[in-house]
Amino acid sequence: MKTAVALFALVAAFHAGRARATAPHAMLPPALATAVAEFDRAQMKGDGVALARLLADDYVLFNSRGLVEDKAAFIHDYTAPGASMKPFTVEDEVVRHWAGGAVLGGVVTLEGTSEGKPYKVRLRFADIWAERDGRWRVVFTEATRVPLP
């Protein structure tokens, strides 16, 4: 029985390792992968404290309406009364990493409310991350609207 349990554990570990190796974020430094997951969660939960920690002070967003926003405006968009966002999945992920920097992007369909009004929009986006003072932060985002499927 112990041999069967050990064999099962070995097979499970092998498959888990293969799944991680093929995941788009598998090659990212662990601290960056954690920051990326926290950033996604902070947007979905409207967590202004986490967003403030994860966005660089000089953060810039070229938003999907063709406007330029700073860190304060971005955080306001996600934390304002009547703002909410449903969980989302990034499709067609792009992941590029180099020492001290990374670009992570893809396509998302975002649904939620803004100023209490429902919205649904599909965006192609790119977040540029930089490691500053030992912490990963988003320094720039570009978002372009694409047609809903």
Give the CA distances from residue 54 to residues 76, 109, 117, 124, 127, in Å, rounded to whole numbers and listed in that order. 14, 22, 27, 21, 12
In the structure encoding, which two tokens stand for residue 69, read together? 């926003």
pTM of the shown model: 0.81
Q: Which of 98, 89, 103 is nearest to 138 (CA)?
A: 103
Q: Is residue 106 part of a domain?
A: yes
Q: What's the number of domains the chain is made of?
A: 1
8 Å CB contact between 129 and 136: yes
Task: List the domain range (segments joined by +) for residue 35.
Answer: 28-146
Tell me: the pLDDT tens digits for 60-86?
999 999 999 999 999 999 999 999 999
- Specify the CATH number for the domain of residue 45: 3.10.450.50
Question: In the chain, how long is the greatest CA-to-CA distance?
Answer: 63
Q: Is residue 1 part of a domain?
A: no
